[in-house]
Amino acid sequence: MVGVDGKKYDDRIEAIQALQAIAAPYAVGRGMHVGDTIIGIKGRVGFEAAAPMIIIKSHHMLEKHVLTKWQLFWKDQISAFYGNHLHEGQYYDPVMRDMEAMLEKSQRMVSGEVYVELHPYRFIVVGISSPHDLMSSKFGAYGETMSDWTSDDVKGFGRIFGNQNKIYYKINGEDK
């Protein structure tokens, strides 16, 4: 994060503090976390983190717009494992460097502006603007306005995409 409300910051900590100052009076980012500890018991922590919660949700929205389906899927899987491994004190495990390399590479196109509305006790990420946004009407539309492929193309795709299931049910004699 490098800016808030159009103001640019050289120091990212200052940018986070500026966002916190704006968002905290709305009482957003308050919550309770329940999780497992390394010694096998449950732990509960109350928190108030307006700026971090907004930043996390905003960043995830950017990712949803600029990463492909499988980039996002694997980034989420690896980051969940990474977080658990780190929480359990396994920072020096070599697999952590491997995951860091993948996570860092996955972020190369994640940039742009995120638009957020603040409301009492909640916030809404209303949109993004990014030069890497994959959600564009230039590449397809829903419904009858689609002109990039025909209904025959769709039927063929469905047959090919479903071929593995068709084979499975023929071999295993199940009616589907």
- pLDDT tens across 11-63, in order? 999 999 999 999 999 999 999 999 888 888 999 999 999 999 999 999 999 99
Alpha-helical runs (H) found in the chain = 12-23, 50-66, 69-87, 94-106, 151-161, 163-172
**Spatial separation of the C-alpha atoms in residues 161 and 167, rounded to whole Å:** 12
Decide if domain 3-135 falls under CATH 3.90.1150.10: no
For the record, the structure tokens of 73 come out as: 């899927």
* Residue extents of the structural domains in the chain: 3-135, 136-176
Q: Are 71 and 106 in contact (CB under 8 A)?
A: yes
In this predicted model, what pLDDT tens digit does every residue of 15-24 receive, in sequence order? 999 999 999 9
**Spatial separation of the C-alpha atoms in residues 67 and 59, rounded to whole Å:** 12
In this predicted model, what pLDDT tens digit does every residue of 111-126 receive, in sequence order? 999 999 999 999 999 9
Q: Are 110 and 63 in contact (CB under 8 A)?
A: yes
